Amino acid sequence: MRHAIEVLHVSERRACRAIGQLRSSYRYVAEPDPTDERLRARIIALAKEYGRYGYRTITWFLQREGWDVGKDRVYTIWRQEGLKVPPKQPKRTRLWRADGSCVRLRPIHRNHVWSYDFVAERTHDGRVFRILNVLDEYTRECLASVVARRIGSQEVILLLAELFVHHGVPQHIRSDNGPEFIARKLRRWLKTLQVEPLYIEPGSPWENGYIESFNGKMRAQFLDGELFYTLKEAQILTERWRIHYNTIRPHSSLGGQPPVPETTQLAS
């Protein structure tokens, strides 16, 4: 209507009367909602902190913080601010001196089915190291992420023994057919403890979907964004990310809650 007033050279009163609009509404200037501005700032801050998370995951973060907001509103702000998850991200450096079944057995309770697998990565000098991840398929909790240059069947046994003491003994443990997992010594030890190994078909990683999904998230949201100078640095940062995954990062299959949320115990 402002354009019509300027072109036709009519008064504001006459123009408003012609279209049946109140003059007060014509003169109204919307004031920014301080709550909306705080929400926008928080979304931008979370997007900067967690560059590999999309707007749905950011929505879960906000809801856990107490914001009464849905994914559609977050998506609107997300688009307005031009936020997006990049398909690839440059690795960043940190200063070291600064601070047996091919049929899926679905888990039905904690310690029913565990799964484990390796992820390979390199330090800055090009040397390869491996990360052995162990997952409880029911709770989605990552029980361990062990980083070492070499991990053989003996190291696997020692790790599982420690986890069995702390978490209990699972009924089944799922893996591929890697030499570390099919070693006779390991299989005899598991049989003694009445833990039944579930080996997937060769070349069928989808049969070990829980750990494959976890490894993919570790790769996309952590390893692809880090440059490790030493093995010790990789061990510290990997453990830090594992704790973040277990206690803070929202999980889609858990209704936006982390596998092991941090709790505050009030003094009596």
Token pair belonging to 229 = 């100078």
| Residue 8: pLDDT band with limits 50, 70, 90 | low
Residue 156 carries which DSSP code? H
| Residue 96: pLDDT band with limits 50, 70, 90 | very low
What's the predicted TM-score (pTM) here? 0.69
56: pLDDT strictly greater than 80: yes
Token pair belonging to 262 = 């941090």
Phi, psi for 94 (deg, rounded to 5): -120, 140
Of 80 and 21, more confident: 80
Of 180, 177, 115, the C-alpha closest to 152 is 180
CA distance linking residue 88 with residue 98, whole number of Å: 26
